[in-house]
Amino acid sequence: MDVGCTNLSCQRGGITVLDGVSFRVPAGGVLALRGPNGIGKTTLLRTLAGLQPAASGEVTPSPRDMAYASHADGVKAALSVTETLEFWARIHGSTDIAPALAAFDLERLAERRAGTLSAGQRRRLGLARLMLTGREIWLLDEPTVSLDAASVALFAGAVQHHLSEGGTAIIATHVDLGLDAAMLDLAPFRARPSAGTSEFDEAFL
Amino acid sequence: MRALLLRDLSLSVRAGGGFGLALAFFLIVVALVPFAVGPATSTLSLIAPGILWLGALLACLLSLDRILALDWEDGSLDLLATAPIPMEGVAAVKALAHWVTTGLPLTLAAPALGVLLNLAPEGFLWLTLSLAVGTPALSAIGTFGAALTVGVRRGGLLLSLIVLPLYVPVLILGSEVARRGAAGMETGTALALLGALTLGSLAAMPFAAAAAIRINLR
């Protein structure tokens, strides 16, 4: 499925950080977001995912077709790996968690409690959740943090498989995943400091 | 949504989940009151309905900030917000899970603790009934309070300040039902008003909580 936005402005904490962002990624394509810290990569992804409204501009398709993976994995320490994946599978209406376990090499850890996993293993568990969402567009925020080289390769393989089935991915990353990714540098879209504050906050000030 | 309810319930009974916290607090408060007030049985049975209701309310308040704060901290709330279930449903399920882990055990434990306070024999039925009818409102209102303070670290104080005024009508009517029942008086009006309060908050609070969560996730 195609994904794109036109003339999108994003706000964070009531301040416009990105202005006039436009891009289009065709089905089966992958877009890597680049730019210095604080430029608004996370804000852009959250806006695309529908977690916050766009200040202006348009996003297609609707957030209902997108799966978002944030910095935090949303993993509960008290649940086992299997329980975590089964929970997200039921939430998203899918049933079989075996492919997700296999794709991220989690089979040996299936009965382990998530609280006892290492940071990289927990990250893999968080990413395995994406395969259960059944959604065509993946929005990934620094997915390779705390992954070792082998896990990065596993992850790149999972993304490749997703793309081969007609999916699309937008990835904020500084690591070369070996994918045929289009680059989008966000630095030119940095909003001018004077550009508008949120009316929502003004009501309280 | 049933998956979410089951997950929340199983999380609450596992290590660090906080199930039993409210119940233990309720037990401690009620067990200590006779020591503080003195052993005069007439005094105790006079204040028993009020103490039991107050204890239940404070015990409920104690666990409110866990409803959403834990999910917010580990990022699950973001993922639930992008999941194909409506945020209103998430808020309602969170309130239900909170009630099952606090309101329901409190209701079931209250008659046993009534003995400690020499509650009049006629009052046991009405105490249990008033708690069964009233505690769902406490959970629903509490979820709304938790939603308003979800982005605030250590927001427990703020949460209490927001929620307590909203709890006052429930406390007044709930303890009135228990007090009137214990005294052998007619309880219909107070019970009907308490029921109305619960139904009203069950209907409105998930929507208010969902709106507050959406704003706090921005």
Is the interface score ipTM higher than 0.90?
Answer: no
Q: Where do we find the tokens 């069964």?
A: B132
Mean pLDDT, chain B, as a whole number?
91
d(CA B50, CA B29): 12
CA of B12: which chain A residue's CA is closest?
A78
d(CA B38, CA A127): 60
Residue A156 · residue A138 · CB < 8 Å: no
Strands in B37-93 per DSSP E: none
Q: What is the pLDDT of residue A194?
A: 58
Which of B17, B75, B80 is nearest residue A78 as measured by Cβ atoms? Answer: B17
Low-confidence ranges of chain A (pLDDT < 70): 194-205
Report which residue type is found at B86: P
d(CA A140, CA A155): 11
Q: What is the pLDDT of residue A178?
A: 78
d(CA A52, CA B143): 21
Q: What is the pLDDT of residue B137?
A: 96
Strands in A38-127 per DSSP E: 56-60, 66-69
Q: What is the pLDDT of residue B153?
A: 78
CA of B71: which chain A residue's CA is closest?
A74
Q: What is the pLDDT of residue A201?
A: 59
- Region B164-172 average pLDDT: 95
Which tokens hold the place of A178?
């070996």
Confidence of residue B169 (pLDDT cuts 50, 70, 90): very high
DSSP string covering A126-186, please? HHHTHHHH--SEEEEESTTTT--HHHHHHHHHHHHHHHHTT-EEEEE-SS--SS-PEEEE-
Q: With an 8 Å Cβ cutoff, are B79 and A66 in contact?
A: no
Which tokens hold the place of A62?
């609707």
CA B77 to chain centre: 22
Q: With an 8 Å Cβ cutoff, are A51 and B217 in contact?
A: yes
B37-60: pLDDT as tens digits? 988 888 898 899 999 999 999 999
Indicate the SS3 state at residue A107. helix
Q: What is the pLDDT of residue A20?
A: 87
Stated length of chain A: 205
| A49 contacts in chain B (CB < 8 Å) | 82
B54-87: pLDDT as tens digits? 999 999 998 888 888 888 888 899 999 988 889 9
Q: Where do we find the tokens 């090499």?
A: A105
The domain in which residue B87 lies consists of 2-217
Residue B94 · residue A80 · CB < 8 Å: no
Q: What is the pLDDT of residue A204?
A: 58
Using alpha carbons, list the distances in angstroms from residue B123 to B17, B56, B107, B180, B203: 33, 16, 14, 8, 29
Confidence of residue B198 (pLDDT cuts 50, 70, 90): very high
Q: Give every CB contact of residue B119 below 8 A, 6+ residues apart in sequence.
A: B45, B48, B49, B52, B127, B182
Does residue B171 have a pLDDT over 90? Answer: yes
Q: Give every CB contact of residue A101 below 8 A, 6+ residues apart in sequence.
A: A81, A82, A85, A107, A110, A128
State how beta strands A168-172 and A30-34 pair: parallel
Indicate the SS3 state at residue B39. coil
Q: What is the pLDDT of residue B1?
A: 80
B110-154: pLDDT as tens digits? 999 999 888 888 889 999 999 999 999 999 999 999 999 988 877
Interface of chain B against chain A, CB under 8 Å?
2-4, 7, 10-11, 14-17, 71, 73-76, 78-85, 215, 217-218
Residue B213 · residue B81 · CB < 8 Å: yes
d(CA A173, CA A33): 6
Which tokens hold the place of B121?
């024999």
Domain count, chain B: 1
Q: With an 8 Å Cβ cutoff, are A74 and B79 in contact?
A: yes
Domains, chain A, ordered by start: 3-202 (3.40.50.300)
Q: What is the pLDDT of residue B73?
A: 87
Neighbours of A47 (CB within 10 A): 27
The whole model's pTM is what?
0.89
CA of B72: which chain A residue's CA is closest?
A74
Q: What is the pLDDT of residue B165?
A: 94
First to last CA, chain A: 42
d(CA A121, CA A113): 11
Q: Which residue has the higher pLDDT, B107 or A183?
A: B107
